[in-house]
Structure 1
Amino acid sequence: MSVIVIGGSGFIGTRLCIRLSQAKIEFEIIDKDPSIFFPGEALKADVRRPLVHNSSSDPSAFINLAAEHRDDVRPLSLYDEVNVDGAKNICNLARAKGVNKIIFTSSVAVYGFAPLGTDESGAIAPFNDYGRTKWEAEQVYKQWQSEYPECRCLVIVRPTVVFGERNRGNVFNLLKQIASGKFVMVGNGSNRKSMAYVENVAAFLEYSLGFKPGVHIYNYIDKPDFTMNALVAYVNKLLGRSAEIKFRLPFSLGLLIGSCFDFVASITGKKFPISAIRVKKFCANSVYESAIESTGFIPPTPLMEAIEKTVRFEFIEDHKGEQVFYSE
């Protein structure tokens, strides 16, 4: 088997390529950024433009991790160019190379502010351009699969927020605030959050290489779902601190502060870690269910162990100067 990992230089892609390497699965990376871990396997290319693959060996599967995903992307047209037009270019390359398997990492953002326990049958109601374009990209891949449904395999994986060592996204920012001792809880902290550990997501993407023709859609969540209060208490315990949350702000005040930062950002053009949408996302429930268990997949790392490994790597051990990945 030979796999092309599109977006393989990023956070999830790097962990996936490490797993493929350990499993002796041949792979190549297509990414607009170089791969620090696998420079010899990387081809620089942008999914916004038609893709060309000139290797003498024909790949048996594409795994697409390339995405425009931050909350503050400008211009907004980048979401469509990368996520939707990129999907079209990948499908065209798959047609040209005779590839019959595509694994696409979408997102639970397609559900928007979803009801508790939303599974793969949940209503599609994205609230931002990221979720909208992920959903539209799914339709592009479904069209590709429908051309030869008996031969082509499409796997759509919708992860919840992904965290882990070396990531500089929203979960890291939360953990960093807790570790600094300056964390302020916005809201009452009773809202629950589904999370996904990067190693487990990568392991499921590798596992799905064995799926048969058809369309396979799965949310990806690692259980259990923590309340914000419980998550903060657990992290404080790992850091040898009291579980007590010292500072709290009402949601309305937190939202006002986020809106003020949005106003300043609109005037100055600067990007800030606080915004109204991030306050809303922080205080919202985001609890999902998944049918992955029916596939026989077993995550290699339990969630509480994954949080401990991340906290230890980032805030207890010394890894200064090592490669990190920036995302939401």
Structure 2
Amino acid sequence: MKNICLIGASGFVGSRLIELIKDDCQLSNFDKRESVFYPEITVSGDVRHQEELDRALAGQDSVVLLAAEHRDDVSPTSLYYDVNVQGTRNVLAAMDKNGVRNIIFTSSVAVYGLNKENPAEDHPADPFNHYGKSKWQAEEVLRAWHQARPEERSLTIIRPTVIFGERNRGNVYNLLRQIASHKFLMVGKGENYKSMAYVGNIVAFIRHHLNNQQPGYQVFNYIDKPDLSMNGLVAQVEKSLNTQVPSVRIPYCLGMLGGLSFDVLSKLSGKKFPVSAVRVKKFCATTQFDATRAHSCGFQAPYTLAEGLNRTLQYEFADGHKDDIVFVSE
């Protein structure tokens, strides 16, 4: 059995990945947080600390690097680069010290920036925030590492769109909760498309590439198709929960004004609010990406997007048999 080290797998995606592959290989999880579900395989450590990584990667065959600073409100902003970029350099240094030649890295479609027209993997990078910029810089570090010994090293970069699913507490959950509770206000016309990825599919995609590693370089966008418009997403919630959502809409300019007002209030009060100018901008942006390469590489997604949404909606808003363990993300 392969020895695989997951780095940063105590969170939402990592927990589901461990659940999926724990019987396929010898697993360890290197994370600064203890795993709620898998503490027995978790080693406490930080990607900013080289010696801890050096010890953790001894005897490993492959690495899946999930660790990242990813929230919109990380402070100071230097943390994005300390963790996402320098942390990647540290992981690669530890791999080289231990003779580990295979890595899967979860990047993000944030490297493309906002309002791009269905970018594929070869689209120019144009990140608009520190998260996207740091992920792109980390990718560049990884590509340089691979190119130094391409005949021996395996590098797979996966750029998921926003990931949702059961137990997640991020922007998609907040949106679904607002729609399900009839407290939803549509900003704009609702015709902008939102690419999404169900967690059950993204972890299956990672497993697919763990099982098919060989020397070389691959990069994939991961999105569950077909994309939904905001109006289509509302319709899916209505169908899954058998409910009717009020069709209240406000113009984009008013939505941005409200977001800026909350930004000012946040600075004055020191409190964080669920509404901000960045979040309004992201809500109204078209986030549609080409995923042809991911869905033509031999991978078969176990769930459709509609099935993933329905499973999430049923678990979060209809099923009374759930615990209070959740994962906070964007």
Which residue number corresponds to residue 29 of structure 2?
A: 29
The alpha-carbon deviation at position 94 of structure 1 amounts to 0.5
Query: Runs ≥4 in structure 1, deviation > 4 angstroms?
Result: none
Please, which runs of 5 or more residues in structure 1 have no aligned partner?
none
Which residue number corresponds to residue 215 of structure 2?
A: 213
CA shift digits 1:239-293 (9 cap, x unpaired)? 1112x54311111000000000011112222111100010010001111012112
Which residue number corresponds to residue 297 of structure 2?
A: 295
Quote the Cα distance in structure 2 between the aligned partners of 1:306 and 1:59.
Answer: 33
SS at match of 1:174: helix
Which residue number corresponds to residue 182 of structure 2?
A: 181
Provide the aligned length of Structure 1 versus Structure 2. 326
Contact 2:43/2:56 (<8 A) preserved: no
Aligned in 2, Cα 1:319/1:97: closer, same or farther, shift over 3 Å?
farther
Quote the Cα distance in structure 1 between the aligned partners of 2:321 and 2:256.
Answer: 35
Which residue number corresponds to residue 14 of structure 1?
A: 15
Task: Look up the equivalent residue of 2:258 and give its one-letter code.
Answer: I
Task: Look up the equivalent residue of 2:108 and give its one-letter code.
Answer: S
Which residue number corresponds to residue 162 of structure 2?
A: 161
Aligned in 2, Cα 1:111/1:305: closer, same or farther, shift over 3 Å?
same
Task: Give runs of aligned pairs for residues 26-65 of structure 1, distance below 5 A.
Answer: 26-50=26-50, 51-54=52-55, 58-65=59-66
Task: Look up the equivalent residue of 2:326 and give its one-letter code.
Answer: V
Which residue number corresponds to residue 128 of structure 2?
A: 127
Aligned in 2, Cα 1:30/1:251: closer, same or farther, shift over 3 Å?
same
Normalised by the size of structure 1, how large is the TM-score? 0.96
CA shift digits 1:21-52 (9 cap, x unpaired)? 14x31110000100111111000101122133
Which residue number corresponds to residue 102 of structure 1?
A: 103
Quote the Cα distance in structure 2 between the aligned partners of 1:163 and 1:228.
Answer: 15
Quote the Cα distance in structure 2 between the aligned partners of 1:182 and 1:205.
Answer: 36
The alpha-carbon deviation at position 211 of structure 1 amounts to 2.6
The alpha-carbon deviation at position 147 of structure 1 amounts to 1.9
Aligned in 2, Cα 1:284/1:52: closer, same or farther, shift over 3 Å?
closer
Task: Look up the equivalent residue of 1:14 and give its one-letter code.
Answer: S
The alpha-carbon deviation at position 54 of structure 1 amounts to 3.7
Aligned in 2, Cα 1:123/1:114: closer, same or farther, shift over 3 Å?
farther
Contact 1:8/1:65 (<8 A) preserved: yes
Contact 2:157/2:219 (<8 A) preserved: yes
Aligned in 2, Cα 1:136/1:80: closer, same or farther, shift over 3 Å?
same
Quote the Cα distance in structure 1 between the aligned partners of 2:203 and 2:57.
Answer: 27
Normalised by the size of structure 2, how large is the TM-score? 0.96
Which residue number corresponds to residue 257 of structure 1?
A: 258
CA shift digits 1:102-146 (9 cap, x unpaired)? 100000000001422111011100000000000000011112212
Percent identity (aligned): 48
SS at match of 1:273: coil
Which residue number corresponds to residue 328 of structure 2?
A: 326
Range with bigger deviation, 216-225 or 264-273: 264-273
Aligned in 2, Cα 1:95/1:265: closer, same or farther, shift over 3 Å?
same
Alignment pair present for 1:309 and 2:308: no
Quote the Cα distance in structure 2 between the aligned partners of 1:321 and 1:267.
Answer: 36
Aligned in 2, Cα 1:114/1:60: closer, same or farther, shift over 3 Å?
farther
Contact 1:20/1:26 (<8 A) preserved: no
Task: Look up the equivalent residue of 2:150 and give its one-letter code.
Answer: P
Contact 2:53/2:90 (<8 A) preserved: no
Contact 1:233/1:245 (<8 A) preserved: no
The alpha-carbon deviation at position 215 of structure 1 amounts to 1.0
Quote the Cα distance in structure 2 between the aligned partners of 1:271 and 1:101.
Answer: 40
Task: Give runs of aligned pairs for residues 63-102 of structure 1, distance below 5 A.
Answer: 63-102=64-103
CA shift digits 1:33-92 (9 cap, x unpaired)? 001111110001011221335469611100000000011111111101110111011001
Which residue number corresponds to residue 141 of structure 2?
A: 140
